[in-house]
Amino acid sequence: MQVTGRKVAVVGMGGAFPTCKNLDEFDRKLFSNQSLIREWDLAMQYNKQIRSTVSGFITDDEMDLEAVLAPIVERYPETYIDKLGRIPDGNLSTADLGSIWTMIGAQEAVKMAGWTTTETQSEETGVVVGSGGAGNQILRVAWHYFFQMGKKARIAGAHTVDRSMSYREAANISCLLKTKGVCESITSACATGLGNIGHAYRLIKFGLQDRVIAGGVEGTALETFIGFDGMMILSKGFSPAESSRPFDMDRNGFVCSFGAGIVALEEYEMAKARGANILGVIDSYFNNSDGDGDMFYPSFAGQQRLWKGLMPDKGLRPDVVKMHGTSTPVGDSVELLSVVDTLGEEGYHMSAPKSQFGHMLGGAGAVEFITALLMLKNQKVLPCLNSNTLNPELEGFQKTDHWTGPSKPLAAYRDLVPQFAFEKEINRVACLNYGFGGTNSAMMVSKDI
């Protein structure tokens, strides 16, 4: 159900991106068709224990951070030093790596937004930022100290709880910036990043906040990586740059990556009145659940209902659809066909940013929302790298009696799936993200006209 409310503008953005020192470098690399995926030296140290060894990971040096390692457990960062002095030591002590990235991203977004200290610290400014899970790296070491080494609980340090709790990113941002409005995290698997931005949008749209810092993150951690490797759903057998290949016939899994995306949202008329640089206007947001009882298998019907909620009157058609596009065998094909089922066979293009930097899990939707804003800014469509060959035959599920979607193979839509960035007039981008448990999120963002 659509309810009339206030308009919401995006006025700032920032974050952490693989191989990139800042947002400008991220922008340049993406639109020059570069891959940000590489061999992960830490994963390679475990030889045959780990099936996949490529990732869009971020080093401490790339974020101008230095880990202070604990003396008992090898490679465990007890805290961090910010070499650029952006984050005070007291705030660093309560934060894991991902939380530090979000604090840096929040500072960047607020600076770009041009909010004053009074506006930032107002009761009308909230924080809605989350990640895909708890602080696995922090918890692993705390458990190791206690259970394996027989140490007293206090040996793990006084910050195990605040560095690992599910709400840690929002809490750290709020404490750093001293915001006084809503402060919360929403965790919805790989839809987390977009889901937090969507919730922030609703807070502003319906008058509960005037400004919100929103987004998602997944901090570099081998502990997270090995869980997906154990499921045998990570890409294997390709060079790093060729490992993430949405919609390609030879795809065999996603690339587990890490990053953070933070945006500053503001009520549109307020932003306009103060002369803010409006990066985009959020037209609509909708989320739902598949409702079929399957934890992992994508639902065509669920995605049909998602599109219906995003575009109830078939208006506000996008020029580009930012796809979830993970490179999983069934997920990609169901998603592509659900888009075609809704939008038809022409008049738009599909972009799959994960082809360039992999799947950032809890951070994916937020970082990819930033790529949508960059497409609006640059008037260029980002590519689906490595989508070399789309299946010329029908998918197995298309041959079943209960299939009601498009009856053509994926190869019939080759023109909708570009392999390289190209210029195009872009007024509106639709963003899609999905997660385990059948959770689906979709957002429409437009140029300010």
Domain residue limits, the chain: 8-446
Name the strand (E) or helix (H) holding 28: helix 23-31
Q: Taking the mean position of all CA atoms in its chain, how far away is CA 204?
A: 21
Q: Name residues whose C-beta falls within 8 Å of residue 93's C-beta, 6 or more positions apart in sequence.
A: 79, 159
Distance CA 445, CA 68 (A): 41
Joined tokens for residue 410: 């994926």
What was the pLDDT predicted at 3? 63
Name the strand (E) or helix (H) holding 431: strand 428-435
Distance CA 287, CA 64 (A): 36
Q: Name residues whose C-beta falls within 8 Å of residue 330's C-beta, 6 or more positions apart in sequence.
A: 297, 298, 395, 397
What was the pLDDT predicted at 61? 96
Phi, psi of 8 (to 5 degrees): -125, 125
Joined tokens for residue 298: 């994508």
With vertex at residue 351, the alpha carbon angle to CA 313 and CA 291, rounded to the nearest 5 degrees, is: 55
Distance CA 92, CA 73 (A): 20
- Residue 177: other Cβ atoms inside 10 A: 20
What was the pLDDT predicted at 1? 46
List Cα–Cα distances, 144 to 25, 147, 164, 270, 318, in angstroms.
39, 5, 15, 51, 50
Amino acid letter at 390? L
Per DSSP, the three-state class of 3 is: coil
| pLDDT tens, the chain, 449 aa long | 456 789 999 999 999 999 999 999 999 999 999 999 999 999 999 989 999 999 999 999 999 999 999 876 777 888 999 999 999 999 999 999 999 999 999 999 999 999 999 999 999 999 999 999 888 888 888 888 889 889 888 877 889 899 999 999 999 999 999 999 999 999 999 999 999 999 999 999 999 999 999 999 999 999 999 999 999 999 999 999 999 999 999 999 999 999 999 999 999 999 999 999 999 999 999 999 999 999 999 999 999 999 999 999 878 899 999 999 999 999 999 999 999 999 999 999 999 999 999 999 999 999 999 999 999 999 999 999 999 999 999 999 999 999 999 999 999 999 999 999 999 999 999 999 999 999 999 999 999 98
Start-to-end C-alpha separation, the chain: 26
Q: pTM of the entire structure?
A: 0.97
- 253 neighbors 236 (Cβ within 8 angstroms): yes
Distance CA 80, CA 78 (A): 7
What was the pLDDT predicted at 239? 98
Domain 8-446 belongs to what topology?
Peroxisomal Thiolase; Chain A, domain 1 (3.40.47)
Per DSSP, the three-state class of 322 is: strand
Distance CA 113, CA 212 (A): 11
Amino acid letter at 340? V
Q: Scanning the structure block, which residue is given the tokens 């604090």?
A: 103
H-type alpha helices, 114-187: 117-120, 136-143, 160-164, 168-177
**β-pair partners for 441:** 287, 433
Distance CA 256, CA 287 (A): 24
